[in-house]
Amino acid sequence: MQKGLIHLYKYNNIELKECEVLKDLTKTGKERPWREKKLKTIELAESYFRLGDKKYYRIRDCGSFLEYKRHIETGEKKLNGANFCKVRLCPMCSWRRSLKIYGQASQVMEKALEEKSYRFLFLTLTCKNVYGEDLSNQINNLFYAFNKMSKRKIFKQTIKGWFRALEVTHNLDKTSNNYDTYRIDPLILDKNSRILSFS
């Protein structure tokens, strides 16, 4: 593979005619929202700057340098290196992390289907919103409840394994009746054909 460097600078003296604009497409041909994520990352960096946090520098430069490898025969380019900040709240890094986890979970699901006749059950557990200072306790309660459920006999007999993820969402509209949600989405491999009932 032949390496090719692409630099993204806020201010540069390279003429646009000399630059190759790359598009990152999904397998279905849809363009991935790099620009949208980068703009949100810059907004976050400005917030860190106002707070005087040193993470500002890392977040501001997140994804500003991308190194690609080009396949000699096909001409296909693949991301080889980059300077991502890896800050948990960074929109760019969060998006890339979610793509990575999705890819890994998909591989596990495909492998599970190859080996045995499993089915998948998607379970979403939600609860009403709480104040910020109570969030940690609420999350602990959710994990405790899920662990307690997973120790039940019917669960152990029926479920082969699961993938658990936590999602915290926040509703910015104060007049809305919608709740903030805290979700645990276990991806459960169901080895029997019967319906589960934990009541």
pLDDT, one tens digit per residue, over 77-132 is: 888 888 999 998 899 999 999 889 888 888 888 888 887 777 787 777 778 777 77
pLDDT averaged over every residue in the chain: 78
Provide the number of structural domains found in the chain.
2
Residue 187's pLDDT band (boundaries 50, 70, 90)?
Answer: low
Residue 193's pLDDT band (boundaries 50, 70, 90)?
Answer: very low
Residue with tokens 């319906």: 195
Per-residue model confidence (pLDDT) at position 43: 94
Domain span holding position 21: 1-115
Per-residue model confidence (pLDDT) at position 13: 54
Q: Does 14 share its domain with 91?
A: yes
Q: What is the mean pLDDT of the segment spanning 27-33? A: 86
Domain end residue (candidates: 88, 115, 142)? 115
Q: Does 52 share its domain with 10?
A: yes
Residue 16's pLDDT band (boundaries 50, 70, 90)?
Answer: low
pLDDT at 31 over 80: yes
The domain that holds 150 is classified in CATH as 3.30.1660
| pTM summary value | 0.68
158 and 196 in contact (C-beta within 8 Å)? yes
Residue 178's pLDDT band (boundaries 50, 70, 90)?
Answer: low
Q: Does 102 share its domain with 51?
A: yes
Q: What is the mean pLDDT of the segment spanning 140-146? A: 89
Give me the percent of the chain exceeding a pLDDT of 70: 74
